Amino acid sequence: MQVIIFDDAQHVATNAAEWVAELINKNPKPVLGLATGSTPISLYQQLVNKHQAGQLSFKNTTSFNLDEYLGIDASNAQSYRHFMNENLFDHIDIDISKTFLPTCAQGENPRTQGLKYEEQIKQAGGVDLQILGIGANGHIGFNEPTSSLASRTRIKTLTQQTLTDNSRLFDNNEFQPTLAMTMGIATILDARYVLLIATGESKAKAVKDMVAGPLSAMCPASALQMHENAIVLLDKAAASQLEDQEYYQWAHDQNIKINQEFGLYHNY
Ligand code: GLP
């Protein structure tokens, strides 16, 4: 796991956007895994800026989102489809028919829908770069603590902590879904690269458990310890409970030198 610590959230977003831009510019048919939540909003803003400046085209990009609430359609302002349209898709040149979310409408079978999503990812050639945030309880996507490390796209019941954390996004009388479809942990681990971004003090404990804790279903993000190419971009607040911060900085400096000397870089 490569941990890179930045002074603030803005630098995290700028750096994350560079990773995405590199993939899109290098790969003729890039497949991006996307996340929702407050954290990636500034990353998406950076991508929109790059597109508007003529530096980045998403014409050949296919995208797969991590998760979507159950029984909510695109017309609902709380849907993750709505979030993605508003924060990214409406402002770039991506072919909207190549943007996928793991939906499950009222009356549809979540099991069939989960299998279908796995198949769609496979047909697209797999995810090249998966963007991830992290929940305060260590969840990735909506894989809550105790999720199987071998899980695939399926329906999940959200924990009380996640419902409370996300309640800030819902008005008092607004329906807040308690069920969601989410890529599984094994689905996420299949991505060729995984880029997790975390900012703010509220994520510090989850980040510590992910990076330095035991591999455990109690912290689903710790499964990234098993990934060959997991990159974790943090601001200082999110990194504040990590003990080996100097080592991470030093290792990052060495990696830059190694890449410069040997031309090793991401194999997109
Ligand atoms: C949500 C999403 C996750 C996201 C997490 C953190 O519940 N399902 O994909 O990473 O919560 O969100 P935020 O960035 O708003 O803290």
- What is the Cα–Cα distance from 115 to 102, expressed in whole angstroms? 10
Query: How far, in Å, are 49, 151, 153, 191, 234 from residue 67 at the CA level?
Result: 25, 14, 9, 15, 22
pLDDT of residue 92: 98
Would you say the CB of residue 36 lies under 6 angstroms from ligand 1?
yes
Residue 259 — pLDDT band, cuts 50, 70, 90?
confident
Distances (CA, A) of 130 to 34, 63, 194, 258: 6, 9, 5, 24
203 CA closest ligand 1 atom index:
16
Whole-number pLDDT of residue 216:
98
**Does the CB atom of residue 80 touch ligand 1 within 6 A?**
no
Mean pLDDT of the chain, nearest integer:
95
Atom of ligand 1 nearest to the CA of 180: 8
Mutation test residue for ligand 1: of 12, 34, 36, the one with most atoms within 8 Å of CB: 36
Q: List the Cα angle 153/186/126 in 5-degree steps.
A: 80
Residue type for position 1:
M
Place 31 in a pLDDT band, splitting at 50, 70 and 90. very high
Return the pLDDT at 172: 85
| Pair type for strands 179-182 and 154-157 | antiparallel
